[in-house]
Chains A and B, each alone.
Chain A
Amino acid sequence: MSSALDQIFVNAKRWLLSWIAGAPDWMIQITSSLINIVALLAVFLTLFALMSVLERKILGRMQNRYGPNRVGPFGLFQPVADGIKMLIKEDIVPARADKVVHFLAPVVLAAVAILTLGVIPYGRNMTVFTIDGGILFFFAVGSATELAVFMAGWASNNKFSMLGAMRAIAQMFSYELPLIITVLPVVMIVGSLMPDSIVFAQGEYTLGIVPRWFVFTPWGAAAFILFFVSGLVESNRTPFDVPEGESEIVAGHMTEYSGFKYATFFMAEYLGMFAVSGLAVTLFLGGWHAPVRVLEFVPSYIWFFAKLSVLLFVYIWLRATLPRTRVDQMMNVAWKFMLPMAFTCVIAAAVWHYAGRGMRGWLWSLFVIVFVYSALSILLDTRRKFARRVYRFAE
């Protein structure tokens, strides 16, 4: 019974494919891919709509006010109203803009975000496309985001847009390094770049109670935090929304966009956020595995989306709580703290592996991480009073 419920979507797809059983091979392949794509888009565009209204509701709750509550019950139809508004707005393209590139930028950005969603296992046998180097695919395709943002900034022919694009590329490049290096320990321990086998490796329980998720090892916990912060930067979310910086450069690379193109940027940003959170769940939080053996009868995809929503809630929570960081401080943290700590995670994982993956390895890898962390804090002198800021180009 439970396994039937677990595999309900897989079986539904099989049933749909059985309709065209006699068709040639290529037709079945294409139909199968199309079903996957439609399912992925339907789920994540719905999640995007839900997220946009929930974010405003939660932000409102945290700032002691009501969120949107006029459209439909509890304001739940707000995304529909927003969508209609965005669609009927005038689409303004600046006269001196590069028309084609200006149009292509949001399309490329959204396409990249959707592609990266494809390699994440959403449940047992529920990966949209399984390839050997899934993790590599995620980062390879994700690295095209920078180019898309640059296209937007350059094609708009606007100083604000260009500045925003420059900032975005600078911060994305700086934080892509810790983001990728914190994935390395997991890949090292599992010995595979395939997301499905990484999830399988986290399926067991120590002593029958504690799940073997990588976040419960010292190196995994450190890598998870670093990965999450880097992911926050990659998706340009609030403590790190320097590229947009409304109070300084209007809206960064999105300044010259209006109507549905602006909405596409917004959508791409949210889809990117889902992708990074989904990868974090896959790598560190055990993917679609249940936290306790007793609860394994609950379908796997429910666990995945439960974990995903917890991470998304943290995203919203941080947005409501933290102010925007300064550009130079952010870059300093990336190169002086995040990068050395990311390398430390790799070493700590190796220590954990060679000390037998048991209690001894656990303590040794904790020691490595704590040692490097304290050494870094002393070296970087975090207690020092911040020096007066010196302006070199602007008085």
Chain B
Amino acid sequence: MNGAAFILISVLMLAGAFAAATLPNLMHAAFCFVLALLGLASFFFLLGAEFVGLALVFIYIGAVAVLIVFTILLTRRNSNEYHGINWSGVLIAGPVFGGLTWAVLKTQSVSIVPPHIQALTVKQIGQALMIGYVWPLQCVGLLLTAALIGALVLVMEEKR
């Protein structure tokens, strides 16, 4: 059953990703990108990593997708215009794809059946974050707060 689910999700996700890269209408591409992200989250669910999957849905579909959609809406006048292939994008995407394929092919663990692993509970993740990794967490929090304040300063109205 897991095999069937894997194939179904893969097809859905790859179709979404392909459509996101090729559709001429940017808004449609954004919606297809959401579909691809949904597939990614389902993979995490399939692997038993509920928390990561939920966080992915929460952050990417709830926030980042809306951000992308708004950016498209507010910046492009004619989002239907076709600009041809962006070669600099191909230059970056090609090596990244090649590197990832190489890494996946070199990895042994995919073919080995792992010993029985206990599923991570949310509590364990919370304890790890709050005890073991509390300083990195705080640093990231500080960085994000600084970014938030910076964004506020950028858009603040000047007193006349």
Chain A CB within 8 A of B6 CB: no
Contact B51–A139 (Cβ < 8 Å): no
Contact A154–B27 (Cβ < 8 Å): yes
Encoded as 1 (CB less than 8 Å from any A CB) or 0, chain B from 66 to 87 comes to 1001000100000000000000
Docked complex: A81-115 residues within 8 A CB-CB of B: 98, 101
Taking the nearest CB of chain B, how far is it from the CB of A149, in angstroms? 10
Chain B CB within 8 A of A126 CB: no
Contact B66–A132 (Cβ < 8 Å): no
Taking the nearest CB of chain A, how far is it from the CB of B72, in angstroms? 10
Chain A CB within 8 A of B12 CB: no
- Chain A's closest residue to B72 (CB) is A154
Q: Which residues of B contact A137 (CB under 8 A)?
A: 54
Q: What secondary structure prevails in chain A residues at the interface with B? A: helix
Contact A136–B122 (Cβ < 8 Å): yes
Chain B CB within 8 A of A31 CB: no
Chain B CB within 8 A of A10 CB: no
Q: How far is the CA of A193 from the CA of B121 in the complex (A)?
A: 10
Interchain residue pairs A-B with the least CB separation, the first 8: A143-B62, A140-B58, A140-B57, A26-B1, A140-B54, A136-B54, A133-B122, A193-B122
Q: A101-B27, A140-B55 are in contact. List 18 more A-B contacts (CB 8 A).
A: A29-B1, A101-B28, A132-B121, A133-B50, A137-B54, A140-B54, A140-B57, A140-B61, A143-B57, A143-B58, A143-B62, A144-B61, A144-B62, A147-B34, A147-B65, A151-B31, A154-B69, A192-B123
Docked complex: B36-56 residues within 8 A CB-CB of A: 50-51, 54-55
Chain A CB within 8 A of B7 CB: no
Chain A CB within 8 A of B117 CB: no
Q: How far is the CA of A147 from the CA of B1 in the complex (A)?
A: 31
Q: What count of chain A residues pass the 8 Å CB interface test?
A: 24
Q: How far is the CA of A173 from the CA of B66 in the complex (A)?
A: 10
Q: Which residues of B contact A154 (CB under 8 A)?
A: 27, 69, 73
Docked complex: B97-112 residues within 8 A CB-CB of A: none
Chain A CB within 8 A of B63 CB: yes
Q: Which residues of A contact B34 (CB under 8 A)?
A: 147
- Chain A's closest residue to B121 (CB) is A132
Chain B CB within 8 A of A228 CB: no
Chain B CB within 8 A of A20 CB: no
Contact A136–B31 (Cβ < 8 Å): no
Q: Which residues of B contact A131 (CB under 8 A)?
A: 50
Q: Which residues of A contact B61 (CB under 8 A)?
A: 140, 143-144, 147
